[in-house]
Chain A
């Protein structure tokens, strides 16, 4: 079912909640069950061998975030597919998240209700109005416990601010503002105000014939509320400081890796297009994903990345067919782990890759039903490039390009990852001590 294809995955700031958005405009939120904790030393003594079950994720809430719309003015269909979900840090009992499709950003409030008022004077238990003539006494309604109900309500709708398709949203560290980015513009919003936004980046040329690049992703700095970055289809990243001017068309820093002109081919620009950009938790580095590599950049060095990791370089000899079947335009995301020591990104054949920045070791794992019984340990996979194929290896020609892992998420502090493989969600945990 096409509507079930997962289009975004995101943990909240504590890792307690995991949200997914899909092509059908729905959001499903999973909550981690409280870990079974010993109720004191007695339990531990009685059951020495008891394995403390780490919390598993179960469905907490599901709601329809966006519906398909029709833009009557332009005669164009607006897809309900959820492009991105971003959580707000929790400030009270309720949870808040932003979800966006191509055109409209919505702020959703997810709250629990476990009590309900009973004993109204003017209406009966079913809500029907009582005949006032029958009321002879007055009572105070009381709150009685009820089965836990989780409700999602749209609190703000930020609409009509984007001519082009929204590709990114990012909550600012001030928790008061956020940005939304489309192909040519980036807007700054205040959470409280839905009928206006500030345009902070506009790369639309006066003459559209001169258009050479578009914005592909954007993100706020994790700590400095005046700083953000955006990536382009030409493989460059611009860092902007909102204190410099109201319209940040002139960048503060410009990150670009020089290209050897003799290596240039028809595909060069296409595969250099950055599909995702993410700040490290420290705020010191940014990571970018282009078609074949993941790169780590130091904010203090603009002329080249400090690290480059090959995700699936063997695809270089397949670019012709990948161009023909459009796979060359797939937009892979990339994520940091909580300590910024490991980075992860997806590939084809339901493979995903992790790179340890310290040990320089990498691993390829697969998200598939056949290989994932609960609690099973994932076996590293290997793609055979040429020559003799070993028994466990898979050859490049056997890769299934329809099984792509575009969206992954890493728990903010633990080694728990969520991997979206088309319409299945996998949650893996690393139990290494």
Chain B
């Protein structure tokens, strides 16, 4: 999201351009919207349905695809976001999954000074395990 803001055209629309947009709006709201978009992202290509963007959609999530910063990358017909979750390998993937599951663990910061072994853990201290049968809310 922040990348988008960077790319917003810092130069204000001149009075002339504003009038132009308003005229277009009378003709075709789509064109006015297009003008708005092009004003924000001047580097937007002429052909939105180009093969590059379709290709990115097809290869969603594949490691090794260079991700363009959001500001430069116009989205293809099929809504390819240029930033997808990518993993270096299966170990990386498993670590990321483990990190998500252990979000309830206390942060390492202040506890780093604690000497381990001082505190005997009790069941309440242990991180909550994901229950083996997670029922859907609809069935609950």
Contacts and interface: CB of A to CB of B under 8 A. Distances in A.
A367 to B, nearest CB: 14
Nearest to A318: B33
Contact of B63 (A62, A75, A234, A317): A75
Q: Which of B60, B85, B86 has the most CB of A within 10 A?
A: B60
A319 B94 CA distance: 39
A233 B33 contact: no
A28 B38 contact: no
B44 interface: yes
Q: Which of B31, B32, B58, B87 has the most CB of A within 10 A?
A: B58
Contacts of A72: 89-90
B88 A267 contact: no
A268 B134 CA distance: 43
A273 interface: yes
Given A76-B61, A77-B61, A266 B77 contact: no
B69 interface: no
B105 interface: no
B48 interface: yes
A270 B134 CA distance: 38
Contact of A211 (B55, B61, B134): B55
Contact of B137 (A183, A328, A423): A423
A211 B54 contact: yes
Interface string B66-91: 00000000010111010001111110
B30 A233 contact: no
Interface string A160-171: 000011000000
Contacts of B134: 3, 24, 26
Contacts of A328: 79
A125 interface: no
Contacts of A70: 90, 93-94
A208 B58 CA distance: 11
B136 A208 contact: no
Contact of B89 (A4, A75, A326): A75
Interface residues of B, number: 45
B126 to A, nearest CB: 23
A212 B137 contact: no
Contacts of A425: 138
Interface residues of A, number: 50
Contacts of A76: 60-63, 87
Contacts of B48: 266-267, 269-270
B40 to A, nearest CB: 8
B36 A320 contact: yes
B122 interface: no
B27 to A, nearest CB: 10
B32 A24 contact: no
A266 B137 contact: no
Interface of B: 4, 25, 28-34, 36-38, 40, 44, 48-49, 51, 54-55, 57-58, 60-64, 75, 77-79, 81, 85-90, 93-94, 134-139
> Which 7 pairs from chain A and chain B are nearest by CB?
A329-B79, A75-B63, A317-B29, A319-B33, A265-B30, A76-B61, A320-B33
16 contacts: A6-B138, A22-B138, A24-B136, A28-B139, A62-B136, A62-B139, A75-B88, A76-B62, A76-B63, A214-B57, A233-B77, A266-B38, A266-B44, A317-B29, A317-B32, A317-B33
